Structures are given as structure tokens and as C-alpha cells.
Amino acid sequence: MCTQSSSPWYALQVFDLYGVGLRQALSTPNLLKTLNLKAGKLSTGDSLDTSPQDEASIISNHATVKDMEGAAVAYVADLLKVPAIFVKAITDIVDGDKPTAEEFLQNLAAVTAALDQAVTEVVDFINGKVPLRPLMYFIMPFTEDMIELFAAHLSIQLSYD
């Protein structure tokens, strides 16, 4: 939830409400418990860094994670009445002692490997357990090899007939 940007149009008061919204992801308590995953509230913004306004919004909404795309996916899923779940991996800590870009690059390989394992476990867990028209969106740093691997895994594990 971004309430301020360096773009001149955003300085107009009416636009500060444009970026605020709330969407509910699919509740998955058994998946969380079985796979020992953590749940949290996601906040979406338009920058890698956190402005004081972003921080205030994150705190007031009890968010634990900030990304740059989750709100768009949740919004479309809500419009289409399609359940959505988000599997996230954290590459950089907001209050970490390293610059964002440096911390992101340092953690990218380990986070990608952990997310690959988590996504595989999530897909295996839900396979055959839910009506298969959900929008599953896994936010991760994609490489071409990972996209091919993920697509192959989904086509083997899931059918959207």
C-alpha cells in the first residue's frame, strides 16, 4: 500500500486513496500446519525501499511482508472470484543493516532454492484436494530454467479441465 510516490500526479490528495485496498487470500490452515509454513499479511508497494508513509501503512495494517505485485494478483483473483494463495520467500529485511539491493543479491540463490522446495510441497499437498480452478500465484525471482521447471511441474501435477 503506497501512499506517496515521487511522481507529480501522486501528490494530488485524491490519489492517496487509490492505492489502498484489502483482499483476502484463500484460508489454508491444514497446508500451513502440515508443511510448517508461516502465514502473514502482505502489503504491496511500488518501490524496493520503504518510505515513512509505507512503514506507517504496513504497521497500521499489521502486514509482515511487502512486495510489488501481490495486490494486483489478489485484485484480479477477486474480480474473477478465483481463490488465490501466495507463497513468498523473503530476500531482504526492511530493517536489515545492508542496503536493499546488496541484501537481495546476497540472498537470492538461497531464497530461490527454499522457494522451489516450498512450491513443490504446496503443489503436491493441494493436488487432488481442491477444485482445480484456483489461481495459484507464487512470487519468486524467476529465471528461464525455473519457469520451465515450474511449468513442467504444474502440467504434470495439475489439470485445469
109-133 tens-digit pLDDT: 888 888 888 888 988 888 766 554 4
What is the C-alpha separation between 129 and 117, in angstroms, rounded? 19
β-sheet bridge partners, residue 103: none
Give the CATH number, domain containing residue 38.
Answer: 3.40.50.1580
Quick one: which H or E segment has residue 138?
Answer: strand 135-138
Residues 1/44, Cβ–Cβ less than 8 Å = yes
pTM above 0.85, yes or no: no
Going by C-beta distance under 8 Å and a sequence separation of 6 or more, which residues neighbour residue 152? none
Helices assigned H by DSSP within 127-160: 144-157
Phi-psi region of 125 (alpha: psi -120 to 50; beta: other; left: phi over 0): alpha
Q: 141-158: per-residue pLDDT in tens?
A: 444 455 455 545 444 343
Say which residue, 14 or 120, is predicted with more confidence.
120
Answer whether residue 131 is part of any domain. yes
Residue 53 lies in a domain: yes
Range of the domain at 101: 8-157
In a domain, 2, yes or no: no
